[in-house]
Amino acid sequence: MSLNIILHEPEIPANTGNIGRTCVAIGATLHLIEPLGFVINDKNLARAGMDYWKQLDVRTYLDWEDFCAKNPDARIWMATTKGRHVYSDVSYGPDDYIMFGKESAGIPEEILIRQPERCIRIPMQGEIRSLNLSNSVAIVAYEALRQNHFDKMTTKGQLHRLHWAPEDM
């Protein structure tokens, strides 16, 4: 499985750093579509990404058209509050792309209207605008991974002490 996460014009370096760390943990490629609200060597980006950033497969694009030209066969799911489908109700392929918009405005509607059937939503109560971007990426990415049986991921841990008693707690 080679999941792809797209951030369209991300603005907050800490969010992108956290998302980069998640991408390393799940083996996903991170695609950043400019303009970015920060420079790649921003200290807040590095702090959030920790030492994982150097392990990240990250690709940058000048704009949406540049991304589309370089990834013509990408099957893209677009996470948006305007989505018609709940993120867990669609079927993700092992090499799909999941796109998220900038923190202040989301994915531009002119992109969304091209494929409304690919617009997905994370359900929320009331009038809340949206979840934090890095949380949204983790929620949707892990659903895609779950549907693909966490391919190539460690799914079982092991306690170091094989014999323990409840009184040890």
DSSP class of residue 106 equals B
Specify binding-site residues for S-adenosyl-L-methionine. Answer: 101, 122, 130
In sign, the C-alpha dihedral spanning 125, 126, 132, 137 is positive
Cβ proximity of 83 and 119 under 8 Å: yes
- Omega within 30 of 0 (cis) for the link into 35: yes
Q: Which amino acid is at 29?
A: T
- Residue 62 sits at φ, ψ, to 5 deg, of -65, -35
Specify binding-site residues. Answer: 101, 122, 130
Q: Which amino acid is at 32?
A: L
